[in-house]
Amino acid sequence: MRGRNPFDGKPQMTLRDVAEAAGVSEMTVSRVLRQRGDVSEKTRERVFAAARQLGYVPNKIAGALASNRVNLVGVVIPSLSNMVFPDVLGGIGEVLGETSLQPVIGTSRYDPEQEEKVIYEMLSWRPSGLIVSGLEHTDAARAMMANAGIPVVEVMDVDGEPVAAAVGISHEAAGRAMAREIAARGYRRIGYLGSSSIADHRAQKRLKGFREGLAEAGLGLADECFYEGSSGFGTGRGMAEEILTRTPDLDFLYFNTDMNAVGGLIYCLEKGYSIPDQIGLAGFNAFEVLDGLPMRIATMDSKRHEIGRKAAELIASGELTDEIVTLEPEFQPGDTVRDG
């Protein structure tokens, strides 16, 4: 008799159902679905065909009891709506798609306590690996990751102390590089427009590096403008209006993200600024949305897709490692800065 699903009362398929449909033993079905044992290709095809026809899904939790692991990889990111992370997930999916591992996504909502809960739940399922965004976590989260006994990779950032392996860019170096590019193009009255949230660790690191880079060139920020809440075209437009009303002689606006930079570009074009001669603009991340604008905004490619791929490769290796992989951000001048 088939087992019962306690949620809806519908009969739940078992190995016996597949075995009867395929005309083989339950042990043979188990070997085929677990990809173990010596089973002929003809029998294997017959079992898979029966399983597909019946809609049978094997119980991986039960099958994992012996190995104490399931073929899942926990991926913890702050948000699914932030345009940064789909590219990272795409890179992870490309690599894991060539293996038996499957990513399972959890979101922290930029809340360290929520992230700790998500990591706890992920690890309670005994996954085969864990990928977590950022380097800043609660002490409990760091302890869980350090003692998980599986490959753990922190992504996006290498400015700090990783728990185990890390793949990302140096955001401080990215900020310094942007400052050098702006200074080399002759801009001198520079404004910064970014998030006021101290939880946005990577943006804060870029701002730190940006200040240092300007100082190396004998410059400083002429003005700053900060926002609360979400980034977006409207946010960037509002900040551009605010800072240029307050400090009209600025000749460059550096935004913490491309999404805000787009709003700044729209405002400057509406007001008739000559870009890039009278005023220049730059953002960060190299989002594809820049491709459809009347002017392509200068930005820094944060290598999100490559970060996802490399992190997944470390997980798929199955090896415990503390390797630090630092990728180099790439400046893309676009149309909103003068020629270097």
Residues 176 and 297 in one domain: yes
Residues 160 and 223 in one domain: no
Q: Domain range holding 50?
A: 3-58
Residues 163 and 89 in one domain: yes
Residues 275 and 188 in one domain: yes
pLDDT (mean) for 97-124: 93
> Considering 14, 33, 58, which residue would you say is the last residue of a domain?
58
- Give the β-pairing of 165-169 and 324-326: parallel
Give me the pLDDT at residue 12, please: 64
Residues 33 and 21 in one domain: yes
Residues 85 and 141 in one domain: yes
What is the pTM (predicted TM-score) of this model? 0.82
Q: Which CATH number characterizes residue 232's domain?
A: 3.40.50.2300
pLDDT (mean) for 74-98: 93
In the chain, the percentage of residues whose pLDDT exceeds 90 is: 74
Residues 213 and 320 in one domain: no
Alpha carbon separation from 200 to 90, 268, 289, 330 (Å, rounded) = 22, 26, 22, 21
Q: Which CATH number characterizes residue 24's domain?
A: 1.10.260.40
Token readout for 77 is 């990111």
Using H for helix, E for strand and C for coil, what is the string for 224-281? EEEECCCCCHHHHHHHHHHHHHHCCCCCEEEECCHHHHHHHHHHHHHCCCCCCCCCEE
Residues 86 and 183 in one domain: no
Residues 219 and 277 in one domain: yes
Residues 323 and 266 in one domain: no
> Does the pLDDT at position 103 exceed 80?
yes
Give me the pLDDT at residue 35, please: 73
pLDDT in tens, 10-68: 556 788 989 999 999 989 988 888 777 788 999 999 998 888 888 777 766 665 655 66
Residue 237 maps to a domain: yes
Residue 142 maps to a domain: yes
* CA of residue 4 relative to chain centroid, distance: 39
| Ramachandran category for residue 337: left, alpha or beta (phi over 0 → left; psi -120 to 50 → alpha) | beta
Say if CB 231 and CB 264 are below 8 A apart: no
In the chain, the number of structural domains is 3
pLDDT in tens, 163-211: 999 999 999 999 999 999 999 999 999 999 999 887 789 999 999 999 9
